Amino acid sequence: MEEVVVLIVGAGPAGLATAACVSQFSIPYVIVERENCSASLWRNRTYDRLKLHLAREFCELPHMPYPADTPTYIPKNTFIKYVDDYIECFAIHPRYLTVVESSTYDFNGKYWSIMAHDMAKCKIVNYRAKFLVVASGENSVENIPVIPGLENFPGVAIHSSCYKSGIDYSGRNVLVIGSGNSGMEIAYDLASHGANTSIIIRSPIHVMTKELIRLGMTLVHYLPLKMIDGLLLMMANAVFGDLSRHGITRPEKGPFVLKSETGRSAVIDVGTIGLIKKDKIKVHGRITKIKGKTIEFEGGKEASFDAIVFATGYKSTTNSWLKNDEDMLNSDGVPKKEFPNHWKGANGLYSAGLGRRGLAGIAMDAKNIANDIKRSIDSMCS
């Protein structure tokens, strides 16, 4: 049994930021990570052309700004280099290939009892922690919806986490399922590499430019969200026009109100809308069934495809190992409390990076958690 003050589960940006903030108060911690590297989602499960969708001023981790020559919209590899520099700067030493299998709270001893599997050494490790930080993220395992006939589809069917570039799909008929930022950008990448691309857009979405989102995020410090939404929607209309004729409708609530209430982000256009307007990317509605290579959509329309890319997000696995967290996470492994009060549970339990507020939200969570742990320790000593 290893006694620790703070145990952080996950060495993605949220876990690393929390480790850095805790270290500012000289509070001892251990950080464990199930993969063999930090920020594994960014390193191993993202496509080649990815850039951060938000301007760099909204994407800094605590206590370390980007170098002055960093571009406004940061490429994936530049962000990974920043993460590596961050780890070095704060002397963070994650224990890689360590999978947490169970965690329960001992109400008598007032500590968290955590059992983990050290896969490198093939042994079980037990921790006893005063504070436990869940920083394992929402993006733990791929989410692929159940579609009748999918099991008999003879072509390539992959999750977006396995997609790297459209260069391998030139001349092929490819369907992208999912119209969030990843799905829309993958569709653009496929079409740009000569694939005959289609995308499923089932739900209303907001489409914005990166400049409009940057403007909105700047204005949130000065104006009500509804006022910002009104301004952005007027400007988006001027840029994109009426997209309903292309199968794209808007939600009733504006982009910033929707983000605040549900965590759903607007789609930041990288050129996809222009290709949809030119019919170089075709838009379809909901799938009803798959028959071999033929996919049938609502309304009876059919088309044949060689490949399917599921840009349908991820699911959290936290609930499979975390117990006694009734006050913090729901059945989907995301916080019950609304932002900005989502990060704190009971009995020294915290969550970092689960508020659906991107890297800026991660920075806020990490600072709040470190400050709260510091207050708790100070009150114990007084």
Verdict on whether the full-model pTM lies above 0.95: no
Q: Is 183 exposed, middle or buried (0-12, 13-18, 19+ CB in 10 A)?
A: buried
Assign 273 a pLDDT band (cuts: 50, 70, 90).
very high
Query: What average pLDDT does the segment 69-79 reach?
Result: 96
First-last CA distance in the chain:
28
Each residue's pLDDT tens digit, 275-290: 999 999 999 999 999 9
Residues of the chain with CATH 3.50.50.60: 1-138+315-379, 143-308
Percentage of the chain surpassing pLDDT 70? Answer: 99
Q: What local confidence, expressed as pLDDT, does residue 380 receive?
A: 85
Q: Are strands 287-291 and 302-304 parallel, antiparallel or unpaired?
A: unpaired
8 A C-beta contact, residue 141 and residue 99:
no
Q: What are the distances in angstroms from CA 256 to CA 104, 117, 228, 265, 341?
A: 37, 41, 8, 8, 18
Q: Tokens in use for 57?
A: 């001023």
Q: What local confidence, expressed as pLDDT, does residue 259 receive?
A: 92
Q: Is the dihedral of CA 139, 251, 223, 233 positive or negative?
A: positive
Strands laid side by side in the 294-297 sheet: 287-291, 294-297, 302-304
Report the chain's mean pLDDT, rounded to a whole number: 94
CA separation for the pair 206, 360 (Å, rounded)? 21
What backbone phi and psi angles, to 5 degrees, belong to 72? -60, -45
Q: Is 128 exposed, middle or buried (0-12, 13-18, 19+ CB in 10 A)?
A: middle
Cα dihedral 29/31/32/36 (nearest 10)? -140
Assign 212 a pLDDT band (cuts: 50, 70, 90).
very high
Give the position of tokens 């704190």. 344
Strands laid side by side in the 156-159 sheet: 156-159, 307-310, 173-177, 196-200, 281-284
Assign 199 a pLDDT band (cuts: 50, 70, 90).
very high
Each residue's pLDDT tens digit, 16-50: 999 999 999 999 999 999 999 999 999 999 999 99
Q: What are the distances in angstroms from CA 162 to CA 44, 157, 289?
A: 8, 10, 24
For domain 143-308, give its CATH number from 3.90.850.10, 3.30.70.3040, 3.30.565.10, 3.50.50.60: 3.50.50.60
8 A C-beta contact, residue 92 and residue 63:
no
How many CA atoms are closer than 13 Å to the CA of 48, on its beta-carbon side? 9
Q: What are the distances in angstroms from CA 283 to CA 22, 94, 173, 233?
A: 47, 44, 13, 22
Whether residue 246 has pLDDT greater than 80: yes
Each residue's pLDDT tens digit, 305-338: 999 999 999 888 888 899 877 678 888 888 888 8
8 A C-beta contact, residue 208 and residue 237:
no
Q: What local confidence, expressed as pLDDT, does residue 90 receive?
A: 98
Residues linked to residue 3 through DSSP beta bridges, in sequence order: 128
8 A C-beta contact, residue 348 and residue 4:
no
Q: What local confidence, expressed as pLDDT, does residue 213 receive?
A: 97
Q: Tokens in use for 107?
A: 């109400």
Whether residue 343 has pLDDT greater than 90: yes
Q: What local confidence, expressed as pLDDT, does residue 332 receive?
A: 80
Residues linked to residue 308 through DSSP beta bridges, in sequence order: 157, 175
Whether residue 351 has pLDDT greater than 90: yes
CATH code of 1-138+315-379, in short, is 3.50.50.60
